[in-house]
Structure 1
Amino acid sequence: MKTSDPLDKKGLIYEAYRIDGIIPDECRSIFLDWALSLPDGQDTQAAIAHFLGIYQAENPDHPMTVVLLQGQEAAAHPRRRGGWKTRPRD
């Protein structure tokens, strides 16, 4: 199902909150699919905050809320990237 939300064009987040008995692993898979479908340049933190604003209050213990909170935390503290190309040269 598609939604009118420009940050959830495929309706992935919307549907995750409507699946009865959804488990955290399924939510993580949905989250990854959603994150990979974001347009280039989209602020991931802002998008996650958008959905927490919509769903968190009414669904504080839902597995997707937990995954969104984990995604927000991970986005706030990105891992080092770049490998050998970013290492200082002597």
Structure 2
Amino acid sequence: MSAPLPERPAPEDPGGLVLEVLRMGPEFPGPAQDLLLAWTLKLPDGLDMKAAAARLLEAYDLAEGPPPDDPRGRLIALLREAASAEPPARGRRGGWRGRSRPAQG
């Protein structure tokens, strides 16, 4: 977070939620998880969250270095996790379609 913050939010920051938190500095009360959820819900349909998080970290110069020891740091850590997350493994479908059926015969 050594570079100055941009004037306008990055395209991957709809509503400027993350930029606003960074501008608040240590005054941001958290919780970071709530803000991450709000950010995720504001992303346009079809925009990959993993790619958006990676681009957002780059745009705000947050991709590297130790995060601050406050709720902003937790948000940065969560964004880094989102940017490097693997998609969940496809598992069994729920409901009756996912259950194995006895052989008929």
TM superposition score normalised by structure 2: 0.62
What stretches of structure 1 move > 6 A for 4+ residues in a row? none
Which runs of structure 2 are paired with 1:2-41 in the superposition (5 Å)?
Answer: 3-21=8-26, 22=28, 25-41=30-46
Which residue of the partner structure matches residue 68 of structure 1? 79
Q: Separation in 1 of the partners of 2:24 and 2:96?
A: 43
- Considering only aligned residues, what root-mean-square deviation do their CA atoms show, in Å? 2.7
Q: Deviations over 1:31-86 (max 9, x none)?
A: 1101011111111111000012123157631312111012234x424265752266
Which structure 2 segments of 5+ residues have no match? 1-7
Which structure ranks higher in relative contact order (CA pairs < 8 Å, sequence separation ≥ 6)?
A: 2
TM superposition score normalised by structure 1: 0.70
Identity of aligned residues (%): 30
Which structure 1 segments of 5+ residues have no match? none
